[in-house]
Amino acid sequence: MFSFVAKRLLGAVPTLFVIITIAFFMIRLAPGGPFDSERAVPAEIQENLNRVYHLDQPLVGQYWLYLKSVLEGNFGPSFSYKDYSVTELIWAGFPVSMELGLTAVFLAVIIGGALGSLAALKQNRTADYTIMTAAMTGITIPNFVMAPLLTLVLGVYLRVLPVGGWGDGHELKYKILPVVALALPQIAYVSRLTRGSMIEVLRSNFIRTARAKGLSEWLTVTRHAARAAFLPVVSYLGPACAGIITGSVVIEQIFSIPGIGRYFIQGALNRDYTLVMGVVIFYGVLIILFNLLVDVLYGVLDPKLAHR
């Protein structure tokens, strides 16, 4: 197990290097720069700005400089939020994004798993149809439609929850709507996945054996069926985390949440080279780690897969 993890982590290094290289040159390919605006700025001033921010050097030279500073753990200053460094912005935003994302994943697994199992056990009955119709609706309604709808009803008309913002970060009321909006499509997806695999597992031989031995239905499902039925869900968690991350870009924008998702879009539009790079590298590392975690978890749940 240890050597498996070590090998995977070692393999991540070249992956990250390729990500950094491609992202660095891609963002520079986009016309315009961080200081362009609909303003009449004298050319000399523009040149001076480039000098101050080291944008006057050849691109390859800038690339090496950047790689060097990343290795030192320094992502450089942000071009568009000049009072903060990229590292500071990411560390300020990450706990918020993480709280939002993990809560949503947690909800998705618990609620989605429970609903999916229920639907499987009541296959082709009213409960099953109701849950699956709701799930289908949940998958098809994108969260940029669901979120404004939720805020309009619960925030503006009923005034029970705030429409946006994050308060001081400790108040629950600010978190409910964004988490729900982010989790809903995932809940729907997980419940469909669970239902499908649960139905399959319930028909398999070892479940029949368990029942034949006189085990109660509850124990059969929770102790034997659930473990096998959740395997597809676990393998879905990797892409789900990626989905949550991209989803949070939208959700954070809609609810004005101070996470890092917003920097992804704004950084690119502002040509904030260092900020975009910082966020790309950070997300890259995150996704690599999540995939690794999923693989490890898979090994634990499925005895058929033994990692060498």
Partner 1 sequence: MLRTRAAFGLSMAFALLTMTSTLALAQDAGQVLRIGNGSEPQTLDPQISENTQDSHIERDLYEGLVVIDKDGKVAPAQAESWSVSPDGLVYSFKLRPGLKWSDGTPLTAEDFVYSWRRAVDPATGSKYSFLYYPIKNAEDIATAVNKDVKSLGVRAIDPQTFEVTLKSPTGYFTRLIGHARFLPVNKAAIAKYGNQFTRPGNLVTNGAFMLKDWTPQSRIVAVKNPNYWDAANVKLSEVDYYPIENQNEELKRYRAGELDVTNEVPSDQVDFIRKDLPGELKIVPYLGSYYMGFNLSQPPFKDNLKLRQALSLVIDREAIVAKITKTGEQPAYSWVPPGIAGYQSQFLDWKTMPMPERIAKAKELYKEAGYGPDKPLNLEIMYNTSENHKKIMIAIASMMKQALGVNVTLVNQEFKVFLETRKEKKATQLFRAGWIADYADPNTFAELLQSDAGLNDMGYNNPEYDKLVKTAAVTVDPEKRIQMLQDAEKLVIRDLPMMPIYDYVNKRMIKAYVQGFDLNILGYFYSKNVTIAKH
- Chain residues binding partner 1 by CB under 8 A are 30-33, 35-45, 48-49, 51-53, 77, 80-84, 89, 92-93, 148, 151-152, 155-156, 159, 162-166, 253-259, 262, 266, 269, 271
Contact 198, 276 (CB under 8 A): no
CA distance 45 to 168: 40
**Which of 14, 31 has the CB closer to partner 1?**
31
**Which of 30, 219 has the CB closer to partner 1?**
30
Contact 224, 210 (CB under 8 A): yes
CA distance 292 to 10: 12
Tell me how far, at minimum, the Cβ of 256 lies from partner 1, in Å.
5
- Helix, strand or coil for residue 152? helix
Tell me how far, at minimum, the Cβ of 79 lies from partner 1, in Å.
9
**Which of 9, 30 has the CB closer to partner 1?**
30
Residue type at position 115: L
**Which of 140, 256 has the CB closer to partner 1?**
256
CA distance 83 to 93: 15
**Which of 49, 118 has the CB closer to partner 1?**
49
CA distance 205 to 184: 34
Tell me how far, at minimum, the Cβ of 232 lies from partner 1, in Å.
36
Contact 24, 66 (CB under 8 A): yes
